[in-house]
Amino acid sequence: MKLFRVISSSGELSRRKSINAIQEAMVTVNGHLILDPFIDIKPEDDIRLDNKKIKYNIDLTTILLNKPSGYLSTKSDEKGRKTIFELVPKNPPLNHVGRLDKNTTGAILLTNDGNLSQFLMHPKNKIEKEYIATTDKYLSQKNINRLRKGIFIGSNQKGRAKIASQDLKKGRVEVVMILKQGKKNEIRRIFKFLDLNLLSLKRVRIGEIKLSNLAEGSWRNLSRKELNFLAKIQS
């Protein structure tokens, strides 16, 4: 396995940050400073990042968490607020794949596979993500068409979404939205620029990985079918 992959697979750093750390002279192998991220590493090699021993992690793990509202998508918070890492196993160390903001609920992946994380987060790969947004009125056909083409949402960016359905439930409208990009707070910004109230937001699908009946605050390992999906899209 390449040196940068050993570090990213340990859960310490992302793929890109692992490469940067090596090139910035932060990594030794068997006591020797190494600047080449792409050298081959053996399981018995002693790898250290800032003198911290890195475990050669052959077993890659990816899990799905149903994130509750009120939790931050980060490993720690200087203000002591709750984070999603309080809800998942500490071993092996995992990294979150992308983020859901504090008040958004639903599907978020965590993994120690740095290559997978990088692939899923890269905009060019256009992984579908499905959300249920709750609002107080239907989107007009005009706005649905505008969203398909893209609307200005500030910071010189456009927000795009496919509206799959709209249903009235308990006096509120549930809008199923499908996005293929991951701009920060994109759906909240879309609703703001459409002058619509966003009452709640839940992500229910990432590619072919569905939240289904996973309880809020719970996590599960991916199924063989879901792992095969991830392997297929990376091949």
Burial class (CB in 10 A: 0-12, 13-18, 19+), 74: middle
| CA 65 – CA 108 distance, rounded (Å) | 5
Q: What is the DSSP letter of 185?
A: T
Query: Which residues sit opposite 2 in a β-bridge?
Result: 40
| CA 110 – CA 95 distance, rounded (Å) | 5
The answer to whether 101 is a known catalytic residue is: yes
Q: Of the listed 36, 45, 59, 101, which one is catalytic?
A: 101
In sequence order, which ranges of 57-196 are alpha helices (DSSP H)? 114-121, 141-149, 186-193
Q: Calculate ∠ Cα 69-75-78, nearest 5°.
A: 90
Q: Calculate ∠ Cα 130-16-124, nearest 5°.
A: 40
Catalytic residue set:
101
